Amino acid sequence: MDEENIVYVGNKAPMSYVIAVITEFEQGAKSVTLKARGRAISRAVDAAEIVRNKFLPDVTVAGISIDTEEIESEEGGKRNVSSMEISLSK
Amino acid sequence: MDEENIVYVGNKAPMSYVIAVITEFEQGAKSVTLKARGRAISRAVDAAEIVRNKFLPDVTVAGISIDTEEIESEEGGKRNVSSMEISLSK
User: What is the nearest CA distance from B23 to chain A, expressed in angstroms?
Assistant: 22
Nearest to A42 among B42, B61, B68 (CB): B42
ipTM of the complex: 0.90
Q: Check if B38 contacts A (Cβ < 8 Å).
A: yes
First to last CA, chain A: 13
pLDDT digit of tens for each residue in chain A (90 aa)?
Answer: 455 799 999 999 999 999 999 999 999 999 999 999 999 999 999 999 999 999 999 999 999 999 999 998 888 889 999 999 999 999
- Name the pTM for this structure: 0.92
CB–CB of B86/A66 below 8 Å? yes
Nearest to A82 among B38, B46, B67 (CB): B46
Percent of chain B surpassing pLDDT 90: 86
Angle between helical axes of B14-26 and B40-50 (0-180°, round to 10): 50
Which residues on A lie below 8 Å from B45 (Cβ)? 41, 66, 82, 84
User: What is the nearest CA distance from B74 to chain A, expressed in angstroms?
Assistant: 20
Sign of CA dihedral B12, B41, B61, B70: positive
The 3-state secondary structure of chain A reads CCCCEEEEECCCCHHHHHHHHHHHHHCCCCEEEEEEECCHHHHHHHHHHHHHHHHCCCCEEEEEEEEEEEEECCCCCEEEEEEEEEEEEC
Evaluate if residue B45 carries a pLDDT over 70.
yes
CATH level 3 topology of A3-89: Translation Initiation Factor IF3 (3.30.110)
Rounded Cα distance between A43 and B41, Å, is 9
DSSP conformation class of B13: -
Dihedrals phi, psi of A47, to nearest 5 degrees: -60, -45
Ordered by start, the domain boundaries in chain A are 3-89
